[in-house]
Amino acid sequence: MTGSSAEFVPASEPDWLRELADRAHDAPLVAGLPEGSGRESAVLMLFGQDEHGAHDVVLTERSASLRHHAGQVSFPGGRVDPGDASYADTALREAHEEIGLDRAGVRVAGVLPSLPLSVTGFRVTPIAAWWERPSPIGVVDTAEVARVARVRLADLVDPANRFSSVVPGREFVSPAFEVDGLYVWGFTAILLDATLRLAGLERPWDRGDKRPVPSRYLRGG
**Full-model pTM:** 0.89
Query: What is the residue-level pLDDT of the chain in tens, covering all 221 positions?
Result: 554 444 555 568 999 998 888 888 887 777 766 665 678 999 999 999 998 999 999 999 987 665 555 578 999 999 999 999 999 999 999 999 999 999 999 999 999 988 887 655 678 999 999 999 999 999 998 888 899 999 999 999 999 999 999 988 887 888 999 999 999 999 999 999 999 999 999 999 999 999 999 887 776 55
Structural contact between residues 95 and 101, judged by C-beta atoms closer than 8 angstroms: yes
To the nearest 10 degrees (0 to 180), the angle between helices 15-26 and 186-198 is 110
- Among 101, 216, 95, CA closest to 144: 95
Non-local CB neighbours of 157 within 8 Å, separated by 6+ positions: 196, 201, 202, 203
Domain ranges of the chain: 15-217
Task: State residue 200's pLDDT score.
Answer: 93
What is the third-level CATH fold of 15-217?
Nucleoside Triphosphate Pyrophosphohydrolase (3.90.79)
Structural contact between residues 37 and 127, judged by C-beta atoms closer than 8 angstroms: no
Q: How far is CA 202 from CA 11, 52, 84, 124, 194, in A?
A: 22, 21, 34, 23, 9
- Rounded CA-CA distance 194/114 in Å is 13
- In our burial notation (b when 16+ CB lie closer than 10 A, e otherwise), range 32-56 reads eeeebeeebbbbbbbbbbeeeeebb
H/E segment holding residue 126: strand 123-131
- Rounded CA-CA distance 70/216 in Å is 8
Pairing of strands 123-131, 40-49: parallel
- Rounded CA-CA distance 153/157 in Å is 6
- Among 77, 75, 79, 83, CA closest to 41: 79
